């Protein structure tokens, strides 16, 4: 069940992982990351939306885990300059998704996610 939430361009930021842009947004006082952006960074796929759709079906049947249950539709700034609803996951959910993607970049991305989250914990925001 995906719940829809509003975000503003002011809450949306771009983070870089190995030269790839990953959109992130503050939601409920924690960072939420674009699933499609993370998939593109991990797989170098030029069709990350199709990869995400296929991955959800594969993971649900193989691992009895429904990735969509840990995602929320949040509005992020799209390439066309408009705010568009995008599947996003918090750090914990993103770790779970990343574990399901066979990529040599998975471990470095998990470390990157942890570093992004640590400053928010220290400042008491998360």
The mean per-residue pLDDT over the stretch 47-67 comes to: 87
Q: How many CA atoms lie within 13 A of 80 on its CB side?
A: 3
Q: Which domain holds residue 43?
A: 4-119
How far apart are the two ends of the chain, measured CA to CA in Å? 24
CA distances (Å), 64 to each of 3, 59, 61, 105, in order?
21, 7, 6, 24
pLDDT at 4: 47
Least confident of 16-20, 68-72, 85-89, 118-122: 118-122
Domain contains 124: no
Number of domains in the chain: 1
Domain contains 110: yes
58-105 pLDDT tens trace: 888 887 778 888 999 999 988 898 999 999 999 999 999 998 898 999
Other CB atoms within 10 Å distance of the CB of residue 38: 27
DSSP string of 83-120, one letter each residue: EEEEEEEEHHHHHHHHHTS--TTHHHHHHHHHHHHHHH
Domain contains 28: yes
Q: What is the CATH number of the domain that holds 9?
A: 3.10.260
The mean per-residue pLDDT over the stretch 38-52 comes to: 94
Using the predicted structure, report yes or no on whether residue 107 has a pLDDT greater than 50.
yes
pLDDT, the chain, mean: 83
Q: Kindly state the tokens that stand for 88.
A: 């996003």
pLDDT at 28: 87
pLDDT at 60: 81
Domain contains 12: yes
Kindly indicate the confidence band of residue 36, based on its pLDDT and cuts at 50, 70 and 90. very high
Parallel, antiparallel or unpaired: strands 4-5 and 71-77: parallel
pLDDT at 74: 95
Kindly indicate the confidence band of residue 126, based on its pLDDT and cuts at 50, 70 and 90. very low
């Amino acid at each position: 069940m995906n719940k829809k939430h509003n975000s503003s361009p002011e809450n949306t930021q771009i983070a870089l992982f190995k030269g790839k842009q990953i959109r992130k947004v503050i939601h409920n006082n924690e960072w939420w990351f674009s699933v499609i952006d993370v998939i593109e960074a991990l797989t170098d796929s030029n069709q990350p939306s199709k990869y995400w759709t296929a991955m959800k079906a594969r993971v649900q049947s193989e691992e009895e885990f429904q990735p969509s249950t840990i995602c929320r539709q949040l509005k992020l700034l799209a390439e066309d300059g408009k705010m568009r609803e995008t599947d996003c996951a918090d750090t914990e959910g993103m770790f779970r998704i990343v574990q399901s993607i066979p990529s040599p970049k998975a471990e470095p991305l998990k470390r990157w996610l942890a570093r992004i989250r640590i400053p928010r914990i220290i400042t008491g925001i998360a």
